[in-house]
Amino acid sequence: MTLHELGHFVAAILVHAKNVTLHHNFVSTDLFAMSTSRAVFYSGAGPLVSLLIGICFHLVCYRQKKRGLAFLFKLYMAVFGYIGFLGYLAIAPLFTYGDTGYIFQALHFPTWLTIVIAIMGALVLYLIISKLMRFFVEMGTGSIIADKKSRRTFMRALICYPLYIGILVTTFLNLPVPSVLSLIYPIFSPFALMWAYDSAIAKPYPTDNMSIDINGINRIQPVWLIILFLIIVLNRFLVYGINVN
């Protein structure tokens, strides 16, 4: 989310917006003082950065054969990168003050077209997450994946429990919020990951070419705790904002 907002921040600087401030979950500036083209560029920069994150980490996961905690981090980055773009398309008809909702309104898209784009965005997001589910399954050993019951237990531990805990943590880290949408995103968007959850359990995937780092999965390295601490510090620092006049 910080990278998403950083996209807005850089775009605002590029269009010479006035009094631009980067916060932990939004960028404040005078949007209505911009021309339509500059406002559209500014509003679209965040979702486009998210899409770029999704594509880049998806390609990294596709090429990487070793499965471990670092791989899982990259996989989640891919998932939420796509959600940060396609999810915004899906909610565009409901929130005209959101990134995509504002763009479609500013470009005078008819309601039916906005709805069609939203449906297509949700459909593409479902298809992509369905493809990414294979990588989650491949985190398990051959014996876990071969048995449906153990595969279900494993996927619940790998996706469901972190998802529920993560929603609580990220919702807290999103406080304070400038609008309702800023809370809706961290609370509800992760559940897009559950759209294809059953497909991951339905059938085993071949893992002949995979290398699973069991120790790397079972033991959290100190570097990950340091990274987590720095992310939280950065998040809290951005609550006060970084201003560019």
Per residue in 84-100, pLDDT tens? 999 999 999 998 888 99
Q: How far apart are CA 159 and CA 233, in angstroms?
A: 25
Q: How far apart are CA 227 and CA 93, in angstroms?
A: 37
Per-residue model confidence (pLDDT) at position 207: 60
Per-residue model confidence (pLDDT) at position 184: 85
Share of the chain above pLDDT 90, in %: 50
What residue spans define the domains of the chain?
2-244
Span of 38-42, 123-127, 200-204, 213-217 with lowest mean pLDDT:
213-217
Higher-pLDDT residue of 48, 65: 48
Q: Kindly calculate the radius of gyration of the chain based on its CA atoms and give it in whole angstroms.
A: 19
Does the pTM of the predicted model rise above 0.85?
Answer: yes
What's 137's DSSP letter? H
Per-residue model confidence (pLDDT) at position 213: 63
